[in-house]
Structure 1
Amino acid sequence: MIHNRKYLKQIRKDLRNNLTSAEAILWKALQRRQLEGRKFRRQHSIKNFVVDFYCPSEKLIIELDGAHHFTSAGFEKDRDRDRTLKDLGFKILRFENQDVFDSLENVLESIRSNFGFPPCKEG
């Protein structure tokens, strides 16, 4: 099992209860299948990683990056994490927090452009 391992449950819950401002804005646009009918989950774990947003039907991960991602250590950690997740067959999109604040529609269009067609139905 690689999804939502029990030992990460409290971390996922804490992260969901303490979204960043950018995460909260993007979540409002993604929740309740508002984007092309796709279901998204927030703070979903895959292996030992907790991803910001995950669309199961598309195997699509969306990460929002704040300042700590732009350090050399943060960049290396993200690169290794992305490589592991890509090797498992996931697609990863990264956006800077500022992109969500400045151009949410462009972020949503970028996400849409990574969907397969027609929309997948998931329960």
Structure 2
Amino acid sequence: MADPVTFARKLQQEQTLPERRFWALIRAWRDAGGLHWRRQAPIGPYVADFVCKSRKLVVEIDGDTHYSDAGIAHDAQRTAYLAGRGYRVLRFTNADVMQRGEGVFAILMEVLGKPDKES
């Protein structure tokens, strides 16, 4: 694998439909809430799908490869690394984002508060 920055840039250019949908879901917090989010952001040796550094929150949008034994083990290692640096990690499946966006939004409201108030 390429270095994390090069890999992140490649992922930014090849964003999946669920990732684009999630980006739209967090628009309210980016606009009204003033929270800065980054897509495909390198954190140490890993690339987080989405990160809000001010809230120490990483959101991963997981496709099918994350549910193999190797994928589960890799995700556990990645989550431990991020947690060790103070990040909370939320994981949603592609289906969660595409078919249950309201539920994803509700979970984000529990974590971040209403998007219209200052963060």
TM-score range, shorter chain: 0.7 to 0.9
Q: 1:68 aligns with which of 65, 85, 90?
A: 65
**Residue 16 (structure 1) aligned with residue 18 (structure 2):** no
- 2:21 — aligned with what? 25
Q: Is the partner of 1:14 in helix, strand or coil?
A: helix
For 2:103 and 2:33, how far apart are their aligned partners in 1?
Answer: 15
Count of residue pairs brought into register by the alignment: 114
TM-score normalised by structure 2 residue count = 0.86
RMSD: 2.0
TM-score (norm 1): 0.83
Letter in 1 for 2:104: V
Q: Cα 1:30–1:110, aligned 2, differ >3 Å: closer, same or farther? A: same
Same amino acid, percent of matched pairs: 32
2:102 aligned with 1:105, yes or no?
yes
Q: Is the 8 A contact 2:32 2:118 kept in 1?
A: no
Alignment pair present for 1:55 and 2:52 = yes
Offset of residue 116 of structure 1: 6.6
Give the helix-richer structure, 1 or 2. 2
Question: Equivalents in 2 of 1:44, 1:64: separation in Å?
Answer: 13
Question: Which consecutive residues of structure 1, in runs of 5 or more, have no partner in the other structure?
Answer: 1-6
Asked if structure 2 preserves the Cα contact closer than 8 Å seen for 1:40 and 1:55, the reply is yes
Structure 2: state its 5+ residue gaps: none
